Amino acid sequence: MDFISDVAKFFQDGGLFLYPILLVLAIGLAITIERWRFLNREKARNSKAFDDFLPLLRTDDHEKMTLFTRDNSAPISRMIGCGLDMMRVTKQRADIEQAMSEGMMEAVPRLEERTGYLAVLANVATLLGLLGTIIGLIAAFSAVANADPSEKSKLLSLSISVAMNTTAFGLIAAIPLLISHAVLTNRTNAIIGSIEMAGVKFLNVMTLNRAIEAGIPKPNK
């Protein structure tokens, strides 16, 4: 109960700027939870899709591989599907790799979506805290200007401590948002790296099976 009462007093003393900071924190936490669940789901989907695709890759059955990538919606399947489609046009590895890179570009924005907002929200929370403190200090100095000289020091110190609550809460909100941004960014990069690695494995196997040529494509005349 003491903790709850301390929190309630903190908000009462902090002023109106604590509430927009709280809103920013709530939005940031909602984005963090949604992105964490989405990235975990995408990681599992990509891992399962590539595990299911490996037996087909070993058989070198292009038709079955193409059907698999069309039926599977995982980003890794779409990327490999772009490579298989290009293999119908050319056998040059560089051209196929470029087609797969284009397929990869379709998946990356969905993985990175909304994560960048967390850094922005962290900065907004910090700035709101500083703004609340500055406005609180302005009000404090205005209030003590006409106060009794014997009470000025006490009133000023009390007003400053109250005004600093907004800065403290702004930092309390910003720190976890920045940590969440870093964690989600690393998670996203790990998924992107695993997709790229799967693409390299696919190209290497296709090259070893002589399904594609490793040479530099000839310029068009």
Answer yes or no: is pLDDT of 221 > 50.
Answer: no
The Cα–Cα gap between 201 and 105 comes to 18
pLDDT of residue 38: 95
Position 218 confidence tier, pLDDT thresholds 50, 70, 90: low
Q: What percent of the chain has pLDDT over 70?
A: 81
DSSP reduced 3-state for 220: coil
Helices (H), the chain: 2-14, 18-59, 62-71, 75-87, 93-112, 116-145, 149-208
Residue 1 has pLDDT above 60, yes or no: no
Residues paired with 58 in a beta bridge: none
pLDDT digits (tens, 9 = 90+) for 18-68: 889 999 999 999 999 999 999 999 999 999 999 989 888 888 788 888 899
What residues contact 28, with CB distance under 8 A and at least 6 apart?
Answer: 117, 118, 121, 122, 125, 173, 176, 177, 180
More confident residue, 212 or 220: 212
Q: Which carries the bigger pLDDT value, residue 205 or residue 16?
A: 205
Residue ranges per domain, the chain?
Answer: 11-208
Angle between helices 18-59 and 149-208 (to 10 degrees): 10
User: Residue 47 is encoded by which pair of tokens?
Assistant: 């891992």
Q: Is the pTM of this model over 0.85?
A: no
Average pLDDT over residues 102-106: 86
Mean pLDDT along residues 64-93: 88
How far apart CA 96 and CA 125 sit, in angstroms, is 46
- Assign 105 a pLDDT band (cuts: 50, 70, 90): confident
pLDDT at 181: 96
Contact 93, 205 (CB under 8 A): no
pLDDT at 143: 66
Query: pLDDT (tens digit, 9 = 90+) per residue, 108-158?
Result: 888 999 999 999 999 999 999 988 888 878 877 776 666 666 666 666 666
- pLDDT band for 11, please (50, 70, 90 cuts): low
pLDDT digits (tens, 9 = 90+) for 151-207: 666 666 666 767 788 888 899 999 999 999 999 999 999 999 999 999 998 888 888
Q: How far apart are CA 109 and CA 178, in angstroms?
A: 20
Per the CB < 8 A criterion, the answer to whether 140 and 159 are in contact is yes
Cα 107 to Cα 188: distance, rounded to the nearest angstrom: 11
